[in-house]
Structure 1
Amino acid sequence: MADEGLRPIIVKRIKKGGGGHHGGAWKIAYADFVTAMMAFFLLMWLLGSTAKGDLQGIAEYFQTPLKVAMSGGSGSGDSSSVIQGGGKDLTRKEGQVRKADDPQMKKTYNLQAAHLKDLEQELERAELARLRTLKTKIEDAINARPLLNQFKSQLLLDITSEGLRIQIVDEQNRPMFALSKAELQPYTKEILLEIGKALNDVPNRISLSGHTDATPYASGEKGYSNWELSSDRANASRRALIAGGMDEAKVIRVVGLSSAMLFDKENPFNPINRRISIIVMNKKAEESALKDGGTVEVQAQGAQAPAAPAAPAARPQ
């Protein structure tokens, strides 16, 4: 019995370790496997639901993505696909407004039209540069000649939506034409001769229009009136331009507008309303003028006209 009291007591302790394959690492591997299988399933589904032509479009996109983006393309969301696209219009806050197969939602780009538009804009810029150069050349030619330099206040040049507009206007004590006649004053003829030399530097066609003030003839509109006078003065200006060296084929229109388009609308009897307007037309204005009903005249904007004298009873004959 004494031996039983000395018997050793053995305590078994169980140490818990990582557990090997019984741990949680297999869950991560399984999740990766499931993700890979899902991606593979989605890839196979997309390949199966996309037509052969669409597959070629996708391949072309990854080869040249910019070309496809500009020229447009189709995909599995199009109405031609087996799997119909659709869904809510994300540009709206509420309500199902449009579907993906709505023709209005498809954007296409015409590369040829875009190229032509860029070319047209480039031609317009080049044409505008030519007209500005012509404007500077005429101004320099007037400034270089002392005889003409004193009349530069009567020469108005500006760029309008239809081209370069050159206006030669009357002043109170310095008219361009003889009184109530289509006879050019010597200095007016010199100005037109100088302009005629410069106009051949550009290929643009021109339009001439004559204008008078509102002072009527004693005979009124029944006989020789401001309409005939403005037309005769415009034609006299055309002859002076041709004498200066301008090609006569450049003239596309010669019109007399009487006092229908006043420079100074507030003062219809102001001498500045008596003027010759020469428009060096751009391409658009030329095409418009060649069509029936085309107009080329541009009204003056923002010009400061001198004070108008008292209205005479009738234009002297």
Structure 2
Amino acid sequence: MADKSKIVIIKKIKKGHGGHHGGAWKVAYADFVTAMMAFFLLLWLLTMTSSEKRAVLAQYFKNFSIFQEAGKSFMKESSQILQSPSGDLKTSSRDPGMGTELTAEDLKEKLKRAIEEKLRDLKDQALVDIFEGGVRIQLVDSDGKSMFLPGSAELSPSAKALLKLVSENIKDMLNRIAVEGHTDAAPLMNGQITNWELSTARASSARRELESNSIDTNRIARVVGYADTELLIKENPRDPRNRRISIILLQPPHKEPAGTFPVRQEVTPAIRPAEREPAPSATPDGLQSGRNQGEGRIQLRPELDIRPQKPIQP
């Protein structure tokens, strides 16, 4: 009877699935899908963009950098045009991105190439070299070809052509110019003038020709004649090459680095507001407003006396 009264407990263990892991995977999956959508959208935009726009975009990202050494800064690549208080415009001639400087060697080669290309027949009469930090262009005579008519300061057609070509290549530069005249040691036949007067007159003729070809008059630093004191061919004082004109682009002192030649930039002048004309003064000619001496005062000229006079006795 005792065995029949014992209670038997049966424990059932249910085997189920693992616990819930939350929705974190959904966030990661959404980020992945968004990134893929942005990627394919970018590919579509690139296929719809022209090659010119793609080049501009590539250049933009290429130049951008937080480091000073990498690429070029935006400010240096921009036009550095500043307006002074007076309204005048100035340009920076030291901007390397604008190509506003030439070395003396570069300018010499530029002039040589221009003469070689345009005036090949006269290349032997145009000597270009570096002289005292500047660039010197010498127009020399040769056998049968003269820069001036014999015994006069009148330029020959060959000299005018060379001076025009030189002017075209130096007119946009800022350096001042020296014009020198030289002769050979042969005395003049007429005897009325000497080589001193002739060399000076020829230098002045060359100056006038430069100015007629758009060279600014203010750039001319000096015009001088040396007669036969500075011969090009010292071994033969009567060599025709001693008769020459020297055009020297001077190096500006203490402004630009040695051996550099700044170039003038084309700048569109800003439109200034119309300046208001000063209102006519209501003060009589003999009176002057005394603003500097205090408000409400009138300063009298010493020669005027407006005090009441004593009545004249009959």
What range describes the TM-score normalised by the shorter chain of this pair?
0.3 to 0.5
Q: TM-score, normalised by structure 1?
A: 0.47
Q: TM-score, normalised by structure 2?
A: 0.47
Hey, which of these two has a bigger chunk of helix by percent? 1
Query: Bigger relative contact order, structure 1 or 2, given CA contacts below 8 A and separation 6+?
Result: 2
